[in-house]
Amino acid sequence: MIRAFAVGAAALILAPLLLAGPTVADEVVVRIEKNRFDPARVAVRPGDTVVWLNAEKRTSHDVVFADGVASERLMPEERFARRFDAPGIHPYRCTPHPDMRGEVVVEP
């Protein structure tokens, strides 16, 4: 009886921690190279941040979203970061290179 009580008490204490899942947000890197976003599609969870890194040697790019959020022109080795809080699909593109497209999928 005491053992059953101890197991039940432990389950009650640990359950909220296990159900809550990780509380640390992740950071996902999208490399910009060879005139493409790599990877072009990323899936993240609410609270995660996506970082775009221009890994080109001589070409600048930008990251422009349909909702109006946009980076400055990214010169080689420059970065742009955006945090995503709400679930949904966020398409983006590079203005000077219209064939460069990608999307961030925020999954609940």
Residue 85 lies in domain: 25-106
pLDDT values of the chain reduced to their tens digit, one per residue, 108 residues: 554 444 444 444 544 444 454 456 699 999 999 999 999 999 999 999 999 999 999 999 999 999 999 999 999 999 999 999 999 999 999 999 999 999 999 998
Does residue 16 lie within any of the structural domains?
Answer: no
- 59: domain CATH number? 2.60.40.420
> How many structural domains compose the chain?
1
The rounded distance, in Å, linking the Cα atoms of 10 and 20 is 16
Does residue 12 lie within any of the structural domains?
Answer: no
Which string of DSSP letters, residue by residue, matches 81-93?
Answer: EEEE-S-EEEEEE
**Quick one: pLDDT at residue 2?**
53
